[in-house]
Each structure stands twice: as C-alpha cells, then as structure tokens.
Chains A and B, each alone.
Chain A
Amino acid sequence: MGKHKSETAQQKSPAEFFASNQAIAGFDNPGKSLYTTIRELVENGLDAAESIGSLPEINVTVEELSREEFNKYRGVKGAEGRKDENLFKDRGGSKRDSTGSEKEDTYYIVTVKDNGCGMSHSSIPNMLGIVLSGSKYGVRQTRGKFGLGAKMALIWGKKSTGIPVTVVTSHTKNPGEVPAKVSKCILDIDIYKNLPRVEEHTERTNHSSFVGTEFKLCIGGSWKSHGKFIKSYLQKLAVITPYASFSFDFVPGTGSKTTKVSLSYPRTSDNMPPLSKHVKHHPSSVNNLLIQQLLDISPKKTLLSFLTGELSGITKPVALRIISELSCGDSSFSPSMPPSSVTQTQINRICQILKTVTEFRAPDATCLSPAGEYNLRLGIQQHYNPDHLFTHTLKPGAVDGHPFLVEVGVAFGGSCREKINVTRFANRIPLLFESGSDVCTKVCAKGIDWKAYYIDPVGSRVEVFVSIVSTKVPFKGTGKEYIADNVREIKDKVTRGIQACARQIKEILGVRKKLGDAKARRSKLTRYIPDASKALFGILQEVVKRNAEKPQEYAALISSVKSKKVTVDSFSDKLKLMVNEEVTKAEESDLIKSKGQGNHPDEQNFYIGPVKEEEFEWGKTVDTGKVFFVPRGKRHKFEGWGDA
C-alpha cells in the first residue's frame, strides 16, 4: 500500500475546539476579537464585583502599539532587522485590505481592572487556563455568552501575538475589605492539553491596597473597524448598569492617525439588583443528557424524590402521576426505584413525558435579576435627558421551561436621536449586532402603530430600550447577537411593554395637542372677525342711507350707526371679546386635565438613593436628607477620579 498515511483518531481538547471555531464565541476577525475581548473582561469584572455586593468599578485601557512598539514589547526583531528583503515583497496586492491601506495587523495592550472578589492565589491557573472548567449544576441568569469568560481572550491572545496574559488579583469575600496579599500570575494556555502554562505565579504583601483583578493582555485587533462598537457597547452598558462606574481610555500608538478617546460613565445610583440565584432545572427544559447528568450526580435514593427534589415545579402528587404514566409502558418504573438504575431507554421515556406534561408549576422567575425599572430609568435619564421617559416591567413569562422577564423604557425628545431607535439588552448586556433580525427591532418597526400614540415615527426623537433577562435567552444564530421574532411569548411581552410606555407618552402628547387645538381655535375664530363685522356693518350703512322704516326695537341701533357711535370696530371688538372668553374657558379646562396627568414640571425630576462614594458630585446635587435630588438638565461633565 506504499506511503499511505494512516488515519489517527485525534482527540480534540475543548480549548482546541474553540481555537479553531472562534467565530462561535465572537472572535470572527481581529476587530470583533478586540471588541469581544473587552466585552468578556468587562462582564467578568461586573460579575466579580456583584458577587460580593460591591458596586462595580471598571477601568478599561486600550493601548495601540505601532509595529516597532509591538516588536519591542514581545522582544522580536521587526522589519528593520530583515536580512532578505525579497522575502517580504508585496505579491500582487493580495495583502491589501478593502480600504486600500496597507494591511498590517495592529496590536493592542488591553488592560481591564475591576474591584471585584478577585481570585485566590492557588486557583488562578485553573480558573483561567482550562476551557469549560466551571460547574454547571442548576441554571442561572448569567452575563457571559458561554461561560468562557476570559479564556477565549487568552486563546485569542496566544493565537494573535503569542504573549501570555498578566493577571494581578487580590482575593476577598467581603466588600470594602482590603486583602493582605496580592497575587501576580503570568500564564497562557496549552491549547492541545487544555491546561494552563504558567510563567510566573507569585504572591506578595498588598502594599498598594489593591482590590479586585487586573487583566493585561496583548492581542491583535482593529480599533479602526470596531472602535465605534466598543464605545457604543460601554455607553449602553452604562445605561443599564448605572450603579457601576466605567472609564475607558484609548491611547493611540506613536505615529498612528487614530485619535485618543477618553470616556467616563460615573456611578449614578447605588441600587444594585440582587444577584441572580441558581435554580433547579424546570422539567419543561430538560433533555436526555441533562437527565443523565442529574441522575448520575443526584444523592437522592428514589425516583420519586429525584423528580421532586432535583427538578423545580414538580409537586409530589404530580410526580406520582408521572411515574404511574411511565409505568404504563414499562412496568419496571416505580416511585421507589433508585435513580442509578434508570437505563438509557428509560431516560428517553422520562424526557419525553416531562417535556409534554403541562401540570407543572410555572418556572420560578425569582431567580432572575432584572436591571429594575429604577436603574433603567435612571440610566436612560442620565444618558439621553429626554423630555418624557416611561418605563414598564412586564410580568415574568416562560419559554420552554426557562423564565424570562421583559423591561421596557421609551424616551421621547431631549437628546434622543431622530426616528425610532432601539437599544437591546439580553441579561443586562447590550446587543449590538444583527439588530435588523431582532424581535425588538421588528416589533418597533412593524408591530407598533406609532401614529396611534401621536408619535410620528419619522419626525420624532424616540429611544426604545428593551431589556430581556432569562436563565436561557432564546438567541438565534451562532453569534448569539439577536433574539428571533418567532418566539411568541417574548414578542407579545415586548409589544405590550412598548405599548404601555407609548400609551403614557400619548397622554402627554394628547394634552399638548389639545392645548395646540385651543390656540388653533383662537386663531381660526379671530381670522373671520374682520369679514363678519364688515359684512354686517355694510348692510347697516345701507339701511341708514336708504332710511327705510324699521321696527322700534332697532331705532337706537340705527341712530347710533347714523351718529357713527357704532362702527365696524364696535362689532369686531365685541366679537374679539367673545373669542377670548370662549377660548380661555376651553384652555383652562384642558390645563386642569394636563396637571392631573403628571405634566407638572416638578414631577419630571428624579429622586435617587444616596451614592456612597464621594469622589465625584453632580454639579447641583443637593443633599435633602435621605435622598438625593437630581435636577433635570444636561449631564454634568465628569472631572476625574481623583488619584486613580
């Protein structure tokens, strides 16, 4: 058979799998990879802070590296050290990108610092260096897309630059506590073995009172193509997370044409939503694998206690009914059978039954952690300063055994952009891509009759915010960037939420319209006064001229026209008087109504809880005892963090 290379069954590690299928995790291209890296690290930071009840504080720095700087950074010789120039000759323009500029990979040092729980010294390598290492016992509303967190960023860093990540962390379980030690770890990941490869792992005394974690990665990317998404992501994240403070700095490389960017979104609330809880799987959401897994690890002794104890929403009577239904086709099923004795065929049968039974209690939505109308409202108010803002939270629903909750905010006027703009959040993370296919965008474009709410979809400035939280957001597409509009439950809630907000805007606009009507009424009536008075007076003058005989009751009138006591103006003055009286009456009644509808200027202001950290202040923040009174008006510029 000669030189036939024998097929070897290669085992792929999870890390290897993700390394070769980066697009699934949002690492489609360098630009997107830069965006996703920042995203993953920022979300990790938020989770880390929230897990110990600290108000999150996230600082992101992106430093662009010129080629020389990059080579210097990684200690590799660049173009200046080339021996054979022909080797690098441009061949037929194939190395030019679509913009026509010379395609040269750009490299960035991304630093993300949080004030979270940190990692214990010994666990650092395993937490970062093994893909899919986390335990997934139960379900929970999470921010991240896959639970891959920083690991994909690590893989991307290794792939694009080969430079390991530097982590500085100090571990604590209590907010406000300054840990005594701080750890530093430089590592990368052995993709084939799916194991960490540690270069440095040290621990020293925490002299600088360091709290949290700081990641420093050097990765390939493209600020040019995805910088705008990164900025937009942070801005939207700040809207939905007003209890966190964010700062972002982009430092261009030497000789780069890009401009420096500095963003800061200070904390405007200390009202942090409660942590989402782990809950047991709902029977409607199970599959064969999951049942298998649960059966394997369950400490329960009987099938009955397994059903009632390991899954949510099954009462004992329902469990008994399910088992008797199961035993109908297979007599070996009994309430007392041990979970370990269930065969694969029986698992299939259990799954089939569980998925079709409708007697379960609805999935428990208390495990969800929505942003809260308060935070949503505050975030929108600070970022868009709209004329009118209404929020609405809908009752929780469920899709395939997974609870979900929809919160909607609709802002009108102010600094809102023109037309109807939609901002989407899934599990409190902004969704930026594929908005055209998303259920929220589609509902806004087609499902809402804006004109019925006196909102002109083209001329008005409207921002719509839809936040959906769920233990499993029904994303569509591999990128997990949008929710399809074929999930009826979600579509209904989104529609109803937007309608509820739009209805309130309609009331205000309706009053405005009525006031406008009164004005129009006045001008319309006034317009006809001259014509009507002239016509009347014209005939009267002729009557006087003709000296016709008229009944006694008109004698006084005729003589005053004759003596010019009554003129055209007498008529127009009287009519003007009438118009003023009539219209004022109508206006007053409308105004009374409008006051009842919350259009009073004072009611537009916000009362928010105290902000503990005092490094910054809103320009006119007034201490009114327990609450802060934030006046309406332009967002005040953030001056700085102090000594950060």
Chain B
Amino acid sequence: MSSAAASATPPARKKAKTTKKVVALAADADIVLKKVRELRKQTAKNIEAELSKTASAADYGSLKKEDLLEVDNLASPDVMARIEDIALRIAKQVLEKNHYTFTVPSRASTNQHYIKSLDRIALGSASGTRTFASVSEVRKTTITARCMELIYNVLGKGIHITKRDLFYTDVKLFVKQADSDGVLDDISTMIGCTRSNLNVVASDKGLVVGRVQFTEDGDVIDCTRMGVGGKAIPPYTDKITDIQSDAEFILLVEKDAVYMRLAEDRFYHRYPCIIITAKGQPDVATRMFLRRLKYELKIPVMGLFDSDPYGLKILSVYMSGSKNMSYDSAHLTTPDIKWLGIRPTDLNRYNLPEQCRLDMTDSDIKTGEIMIDEDFIKANPEWVKEMKIMLRTKQKAEIQALSSFGFQYISEEYLPRKLREGDWI
C-alpha cells in the first residue's frame, strides 16, 4: 500500500541548472599545435609571396594570360554598363539583320585548363554562339535576355535576390528553376564579372563556428558565441568586413554530422581554430568565405573528408574549383588545403574495424580511376599514393566510422593525434 502511494506522488521536479560547460584550452595544446604553428608560419610566408606577385608575372604554364577567361570583381554600375552594352549591340543586330546572336564563352570540358602553378582550373578563351533563329537555342537565348533584364533591374535597385526569386519573376518563361539558374554562369562570363556581382545568390548552405569575429553589414558577429549550431555563412560575402581571429588553423569539414560533433564539443576552444562546413558540395558563398579567411588571416586549412572518391572530389572543388564556374576560379578557390583525414592509410593506422570499412562500388572505382588522372591529384605525389592505396584495397570509409571507437573519439583522440603528429599531406 505504502509503496503504491509513494509511487503515486509525483517526483519533485529538479530545477534544471543551466550551467554553461566551460571548455578551456587543452592542457596539451602547445604540444599538439607545435607542428600546426610551423605550418602556419610557412603558409603566411607563401601567401605573402603569392600576393606580392603581380598578376602579369603569374606563371600560366603553357598558356598565356590572353588564352584564359578570368572574370573581374566588378561594382554594380560597371556590371550594369556592360549589360547595357550587350543590349545595345543586340538591339542594333535585330533592327539591322532581323535576328540576334549572343556570343557565350564556352564552358565545355575541352575549354577547361588546370593551371599547375595556380593549382586551380581556369577557363580558356573559346566561345560559342547562341542564336535566336535556331529552334534548339531559341529558348535559352530568350531566357538569357530575360535574365539579363531582371539582373539589370536588381542591380539598379542595389538589392540581392535569390535564385528562387529570379525564377519566380517569370515562371511562365523559365518553367524550371534549373533553366534560369543555368544561364547565370553564361551571363557572368559574357559580362566578365563574378557570379556574386550579379546580386543573384543561392540560399544559405555553409556554416561557420569557432574563433573568428567579423562585421556583417554593420553587425558584429562573434562565432564563438553562436551556440552549438554556428553561424550561417551569408550569401553576400562582400558585406563581411573586419575579420579578426586568434585561430591557429581552419578545419574544413565535409559533413554536417562531424561539424555538429566538433561544435558541440567546443573543439575550437581546446585547440583554437575555425570550423567550416558546406554540408557536401560547397556553394559559392562558402568557397568565397573560406578563401577570404585563409588569405586575410594567413592560416592553414585542414580538410576532414570521407575516404572515398566523392569526398576527394568535394575537396577538389574547394581547392581548384568546379568546371562549371572555372571562369571565376580566381575568387573561389583556396589552394593548398591539407588533407588531414580520413585517408586510405588511416584505415590501417587507426585499426578501423572491418564493419566500418565499405567495399567500393563499381562506379566508385570508376570515379577513383578518373580522379587519379586529374591534374590536381597528380600535382601532389602524396595524394597519388593515397589514391593508389584506395584503388588497390577497394575499400572506403566515412568519417563517422571513427564513432565506432566512441562518439567523441574524433574530437578527443583522432584530431589531437593527427595534429600532434603533423599527419597531413
């Protein structure tokens, strides 16, 4: 009886204590970060050397600068003026010759060149035409003209719109968002400006957390005070100013889940760093943001990616740019990202249990075989070695595989050990 009565009374509600977990600098920080600091010094030196080099003196390998199409970062009035010029030229064409043709720089793979000295892809100068009189091109030609007009209006008002906004301004003509998105890169190359100069942006994708402060459109942002989720990387990086940081390095993470783990463990306090992710394939804003951080703070970037061809492909987009936007690779790429993990050699070195290793599929192997021939891999012999191991063992592993040693293994064991040993390539 008595026991029943006791159980019936509700248990006294404990007042939840909102004690903030204070994470201090790790005791072994100096030891762990010894090699990182050495790398940082080297990186700073390299960046300064790179920046002091004038553009004309840049080594384009077998190509000349004139052979490449590199867009400039233009101010809105300049972009508008160039749109006006295109419009006038075409209007004249219509009135005189009854038809019109755009000249659009080609973004075909034959026009993509990897520049070894710059460690990124650049667009060649080849171009194609898009004419209104052709049935197969009339739609794209019209969409291009319409988008140009819309962008012109946006620029005139000095605002930013998303790709989705752009699509909804004329759904009837665009039909699919992919169609209106698709011509944006063409318009950029035709005008010769970066994609962000068009003031058409993608929605947020990237996240940043860690020891960095900056001003965004007048607001002071402190990324150590952004909770466990971190700050979304804004689509308009041109509004970010006054970047300040005491971080030793930037940790670039492929996956959302790993980012969450590190953010929650406040890894950036234990070993001062900035943690960034774009949740898979990076968007333009994240890539620009990463580049700015690296060049303004002059600190090294460490990559934490899956040990599979796809992870490496994402890393390559950060480093040498995507083929689709190679015209703007100068503003988007962050060369010299160190491949920290998880690498094919880690599988044995860290004794990853068998159940965490996955067999590569046929398409994985095919992608891997293409990757090993890519210039950006070949540029680094250590990477080639790792790729060869991956293709030989035909095994892949995701970063989460480390959770088999405990959920916090990555932040408490794996990363400190990696950093201490200077185990990056």
Contact = CB atoms under 8 A, between A and B. Distances in A.
A521 B135 contact: yes
A550 B82 CA distance: 11
A263 interface: no
B141 interface: yes
A571 interface: yes
A535 interface: yes
Contacts of B85: 550
B91 interface: yes
A570 B95 contact: yes
B98 A577 contact: yes
A582 interface: yes
Interface string A334-354: 000000000000000000000
A289 interface: no
B40 interface: no
A574 B84 contact: no
A532 B145 contact: yes
B135 A525 contact: yes
Given A536-B94, A570-B95, A575-B99, A531 B146 contact: yes
Contact of A536 (B90, B138, B153): B90
Interface string A538-551: 11101100001010
B178 interface: no
B173 A531 contact: yes
Interface string A567-601: 00011001101110110000000000000000000
A535 B94 contact: no
B94 A543 contact: no
B87 interface: yes
Contact of B156 (A524, A542, A571): A542
Interface string B87-120: 1101110110011000000000000000000000
Contacts of A539: 83-84, 87, 148-149, 152
Given A524-B138, A528-B138, A528-B139, A535 B145 contact: yes
Interface in A500-558: 520-521, 524-525, 528, 531-532, 534-540, 542-543, 548, 550, 553-554, 557-558
Interface in B167-184: 170, 173
Contacts of B133: 525, 578-579, 582
A579 B138 CA distance: 11
A577 B81 CA distance: 30
Q: Which interface residue of A521, A536, A570 has the most chain B CB atoms within 10 A?
A: A536
Contacts of B145: 531-532, 535-536
Interface in B396-421: none
A323 to B, nearest CB: 67
A574 B139 contact: no
Nearest to B145: A535
A261 interface: no
B132 interface: yes
Nearest to A572: B94
Nearest to B90: A536
Interface residues of B, number: 29
A571 B99 contact: no
Nearest to B92: A557
Secondary structure type dominating chain A contacts:
helix
B73 interface: no
Contact of B88 (A525, A554, A571, A577): A554
Given A535-B146, A575-B98, A528 B132 contact: yes
Contacts of A578: 98-99, 132-133
Contacts of B90: 536
A394 interface: no
A543 to B, nearest CB: 5
A553 B88 CA distance: 10
Given A528-B132, A531-B146, A571-B94, A540 B87 contact: yes
A420 to B, nearest CB: 33
A540 B88 contact: yes
B166 to A, nearest CB: 13
B333 to A, nearest CB: 32
Interface residues of A, number: 32
A566 interface: yes
A644 B314 CA distance: 94
Contacts of B88: 540, 543, 550, 554, 557-558
Contacts of B125: none
B237 interface: no
Nearest to A570: B95
A537 B81 CA distance: 15
B126 to A, nearest CB: 26
Contacts of A577: 98
B95 A574 contact: yes
B83 to A, nearest CB: 6
B281 interface: no
Contact of A574 (B98, B141, B148): B98
B324 interface: no
B142 interface: yes
A540 B91 contact: yes
A531 B170 CA distance: 10
B99 A557 contact: no
A522 to B, nearest CB: 9
A574 to B, nearest CB: 5
Contacts of B139: 528
Given A535-B145, A536-B90, A539-B148, A557 B95 contact: yes
Given A574-B98, A577-B98, A536 B91 contact: yes
A626 to B, nearest CB: 51
Contacts of A548: 81, 84
Contacts of B152: 538-539, 542
23 contacts: A520-B135, A521-B135, A525-B132, A531-B173, A532-B146, A534-B146, A535-B149, A536-B87, A536-B90, A539-B84, A539-B87, A539-B148, A539-B152, A542-B84, A542-B152, A543-B88, A548-B84, A550-B84, A566-B91, A577-B98, A578-B99, A578-B132, A578-B133
Closest 9 pairs (CB-CB, A-B): A539-B87, A535-B145, A578-B98, A528-B142, A535-B149, A535-B146, A538-B149, A554-B88, A532-B142
Interface of B: 81, 83-85, 87-88, 90-92, 94-95, 98-99, 132-133, 135, 138-139, 141-142, 145-146, 148-149, 152-153, 156, 170, 173
Given A539-B148, A539-B149, 10 more contacts: A525-B133, A535-B142, A536-B149, A550-B85, A557-B92, A558-B88, A575-B98, A575-B132, A578-B133, A582-B133
